[in-house]
Structure 1
């Protein structure tokens, strides 16, 4: 019978062979899969770690044109656009002396922390499953080995090697299942954590771009200063 044919029956047979330990590991795998799929959807919908477009909008606008950037960000989705819009609103309130710079920085730091916290929800569950699944599998192996040696002892002088071999491979099955659950869960968790770190860096860049924008006039002034220094160096030679 193919593995894909009547999967419910195949899972039932698998549980009958592995016992309650395998059933527990299968339940953990279902929980891990559900969390991974939810986090993948969440990260995709909120465009986590993809703040390049938001930074491009902010870098293309001077401090005077922050209102235009706010309108453009309003049509964009994702956490990066949300924090950028919030930062611009606080910047405008600061310009009207409704907010002080310290209050603005604290509010943005709190908003960024809330975003990061919401993105990290479910990470503890994945981490727990990745750590405990191999231990549960090993526990099942120990129990299986005890059962196999008990059967070997009860057989007395008529020792059948197949009894011991059968008990051992059934016992090792739980360890294999535990590792099969833990490894992909750990890989998925590492990927999500890297995306969160990318998003954290993007938030820092966005906040810095809003609070300390480089206007076109300052760019022109800097270029003029560099040109003057270059001409003075030429004349000195």
Structure 2
């Protein structure tokens, strides 16, 4: 282990930091994938519940939506409960917006951490490369021209290794953050659409 660490030179500490960031990134990706697995589910069930609400079976509609597991199901279930109890108007709309915002904020937890890892990792890799190049040229200066090309090349590849490591950490984090953000945005739109449909149906009952 010590020999491997010495081979990395000045890039060793930065490689260690990048390795820790990589493990953290992978852990966050797994946690968020599990948490967001059902965030866009239940569309067909909500359509059926809206049909029941329109036909007057409000209790059945509530029960159907309450069985869902997505943020849209939870906000819609609350909206149905509020409407059934007579809570309507701007006050209800404000409360639904607040609940929707809370759901979106919950889904967005740790996404900023992934984005930060994707942004910082290449910079750390570049820092390691710069430090390694400085060390290589210092050694060349101390050798007063006696250093051969292989020694200089060895220092350069050690320096460039940190840049490669930084990119290897940043790319999966950036891709995951983008895909998860898109999924969250889609789930947020589903919340808005579901609540909007319910309020429209409730305000325009069948004749």
After the TM superposition, list the runs of 4 or more consecutive aligned residues in structure 1 that deviate by more than 4 angstroms: none
Residues in 2 aligned to 1:181 and 1:190: alpha-carbon distance in whole angstroms? 15
* Superposition map of 1:134-173 within 5 A: 134-173=122-161
The one of 20, 25, 37 aligned to 2:18: 25
Q: Find the residue that maps to 2:195 and give its secondary structure.
A: helix
Structure with the greater alpha carbon radius of gyration: 1
Residues in 2 aligned to 1:54 and 1:104: alpha-carbon distance in whole angstroms? 23
User: Does the CA contact (< 8 Å) of 1:70 and 1:85 recur in 2?
Assistant: yes
The one of 44, 48, 60 aligned to 2:51: 60
Residues in 2 aligned to 1:157 and 1:196: alpha-carbon distance in whole angstroms? 58
Counterpart position of 2:84: 92
Q: Which stretch shifts more, 113-122 or 70-79?
A: 70-79
Structure 1 unaligned segments of length 5 or more: list them: 1-8, 219-237
User: Does the CA contact (< 8 Å) of 2:25 and 2:117 recur in 1?
Assistant: yes
Residues in 1 aligned to 2:185 and 2:45: alpha-carbon distance in whole angstroms? 17
User: Does the CA contact (< 8 Å) of 1:144 and 1:170 recur in 2?
Assistant: yes
The one of 21, 40, 44 aligned to 1:49: 40
Structure 2 unaligned segments of length 5 or more: list them: none
The one of 93, 97, 119 aligned to 2:107: 119
The answer as to 2:75 corresponding to 1:83 is yes
Aligned length: 203
User: Does the CA contact (< 8 Å) of 1:127 and 1:189 recur in 2?
Assistant: yes
Counterpart position of 1:200: 188
Counterpart position of 1:182: 170
TM-score when scaled to structure 1? 0.79
C-alpha RMSD over aligned residues:
2.1
